[in-house]
Chains A and B, each alone.
Chain A
C-alpha cells in the first residue's frame, strides 16, 4: 500500500504545486474556480485517453511518440504561461485597483483564465496518465493486494491535493502587494523550467542533438530526486545535469518574457487610469 501511495504521490506532486500556484495567481478573479476545475477535469479525461492509447502513442514517430507528445504539451504550457504574464503586465494593475469596468474585466479576464486552465489541464494530463496506467494495472491484477494498492493510490491522490492547498495558502500569506511580483517571477521560472523539460524530452527522442552535452553536475549538492530537488525541479526547473541546450532555452524564455512584459507594460494605457 505504501509503495502505491508513494508512486501516485510522486506523480501528482508536480500537478499539485502547479494548481496551487495558479489558484494563488487568480485569487481575486471571479469565476476562477469554474475554470480551474474545468482544467483539472479536462486533464483527468485527457489522462485517461492518453493512458488508454498509450500503446499507440508510443509507436508514433518511430517509437518516440511519448517524448514528442510530452515536449509538445509542455510547449503549449510555456506559451500559455508567458501569454498570461504578458497579459498581466498590461492589465494587472488595473484589475488590482478594480478601476476597470466590471464587464470588460470579466470578458478579458476569462482569456487569461483560459490560458491558466490550459496550464492546469496540461499538468494534470502529464502526471495523470501515468497514475491512470498504474492504477489500471493494479485493478487488472487479481488477489487481495489490489484493494490495498488502490487505497494507497487514493491516499497518494489526497496527499497531492494537500500539496496543492499547502502551496495555495502558503502563497496567500505573502502580502497582496508583493504577491503580484512573486507570482510573476514564479510563473516566468515555471515556464522556463517547463521549456527546459521539453528540451530534455526532445533530446531523449534524438530530435534535438545540438548542444546536448551535460554542462555541469550538481547531483552531489542537491539530487533531483530529493523532495527539495523535485520541488525546485517543478518550480524553477532545477536539473542536476542540465545540457547546454536546456540552459540556452531556459535563459531565452526568461529574457523573452521580460522583454515582452516591458514592451507591453510600457505602452500607454487606453483608459486614463490612475495607478492602483
Chain B
C-alpha cells in the first residue's frame, strides 16, 4: 500500500514539476525597458510606456535599506536589497495610470502611465 502511495505521490510531484517547465514562447513581444533609481524616493516618479506591450522596469536601490517595489494594480512585488538592482517584469497593460510604491516606506510613490 505504501509503495503504491509513494508511486502516486511521485506521479503527483512529477505532474507539478512538469507544470513548472518553462513553456515560454521566448517573449515573442519586445518589452519596453524603463530604468529607475530609488534613494528614498523614485527617480523619476512618473514613467511612460505604450499599451499592449510587456514592460520591464529596472529598479536600482541606492539606499542602505532593503526596499520592496510593489504595485497592486500591476500585480508586481519584488524585494530589492540595499545597494541592489532588480528587474521587474510587468505584463502588457491597458492604457491607464498605475501606481507603484515602496512597501517598506509607503511615502515613496510613483506612477506608470500606460498610453
A binding-site residues for B, Cβ under 8 Å: 3, 7, 51, 54-55, 58, 62-64, 66-67, 71-72, 75, 78-79, 82-83, 86-87, 90, 129-130, 133-134, 136-138, 140-141, 195, 198-200, 202-210, 212, 223-225, 241, 249, 252, 256, 260, 263-264, 267, 270
Contacts and interface: CB of A to CB of B under 8 A. Distances in A.
B13 interface: yes
Nearest to B66: A133
Given A67-B78, A75-B17, A208-B22, 20 more contacts: A54-B66, A58-B80, A58-B81, A66-B79, A75-B20, A79-B13, A90-B5, A133-B66, A133-B81, A138-B65, A140-B64, A141-B65, A195-B16, A204-B88, A206-B24, A206-B27, A208-B20, A212-B91, A256-B15, A267-B1
Interface string B1-39: 100010011001101110110111101000000000000
Contacts of B89: 64, 204-206
A123 to B, nearest CB: 17
Nearest to A63: B87
Contacts, number: 111
- Chain A binding surface SS class: helix
Interface in B66-115: 66, 68, 72, 75-76, 78-82, 84, 86-89, 91, 103-104, 106
Nearest to A87: B5
Interface in B25-66: 25, 27, 64-66
B62 to A, nearest CB: 14
B65 A137 contact: yes
Contacts of A64: 87, 89
Nearest to B84: A55
29 contacts: A54-B79, A54-B81, A58-B81, A58-B84, A62-B87, A66-B79, A75-B17, A79-B12, A82-B12, A86-B5, A130-B68, A130-B79, A133-B66, A134-B104, A198-B20, A199-B19, A202-B22, A203-B91, A204-B75, A205-B89, A207-B20, A207-B22, A208-B23, A208-B24, A224-B72, A241-B75, A256-B12, A260-B12, A264-B8
